Amino acid sequence: MNYIKKRGQSLTYALSGLKAALQESNFKLQSIMGLIAILCGFLFNISRMEWCFIIACCGLVLALELLNSAIERVCDTLTSDFNHNIKFIKDVCAGAVLIASGCAATIGFIIFGPYIKQYFS
């Protein structure tokens, strides 16, 4: 029973982290974009394989955004003074989110482009 209690506590911490992340503007924006992609999936009745790509892209971008926010918070806790190494760390983390977001957007255009084209034809 102790194992189940510990897993439940871990879930509580994870949900608390998601709640805190929803206060971050970038995470909110990425979440909204993911919801739009999911709504488009329902609207266009995409295939199972397309769903897999959309869900994977949304999950990857949101997970990277969470890591980026956490790493930025750690860096800000370490020092409030300008530090070239901390700037590098923050910039690289933001770059990772940018790459994942760009790839997700590209996959979104590949998947939804033909549906949108057919819808307006």
CATH number of domain containing 91: 1.10.287.3610
pTM of the model: 0.91
- Total domains, the chain: 1
Q: Is residue 62 part of a domain?
A: yes
Q: Is residue 99 part of a domain?
A: yes
Query: What mean pLDDT is predicted for residues 57-83?
Result: 97
pLDDT of 6 above 90: no
Q: Is residue 10 part of a domain?
A: no
Instruction: Give the pLDDT of residue 91.
Output: 98
Instruction: Give the pLDDT of residue 1.
Output: 64
Query: What mean pLDDT is predicted for residues 33-40?
Result: 98
Taking all residues of the chain, what is their mean pLDDT, rounded to a whole number? 95
Q: Is residue 15 part of a domain?
A: no
Q: Are 46 and 54 in contact (CB under 8 A)?
A: yes
Question: How many Cβ atoms sit within 10 Å of the Cβ of residue 64?
Answer: 19
Q: Is residue 68 part of a domain?
A: yes
Whether the CA torsion 58, 59, 60, 64 is positive or negative: it is positive
Q: Is residue 89 part of a domain?
A: yes
Query: What mean pLDDT is predicted for residues 41-60?
Result: 98
Tokens read off for 36 = 């739009």
Task: Tell which phi-psi region holds residue 77, choosing left (phi > 0), alpha (psi between -120 and 50) or beta.
Answer: alpha
Q: Are 38 and 54 in contact (CB under 8 A)?
A: yes
Q: Is residue 35 part of a domain?
A: no
The Cα 51–Cα 13 span in angstroms is 29
Domain that holds residue 81: 45-121
What confidence category does residue 49 fall into, taking pLDDT thresholds of 50, 70 and 90? very high
Q: Is residue 32 part of a domain?
A: no
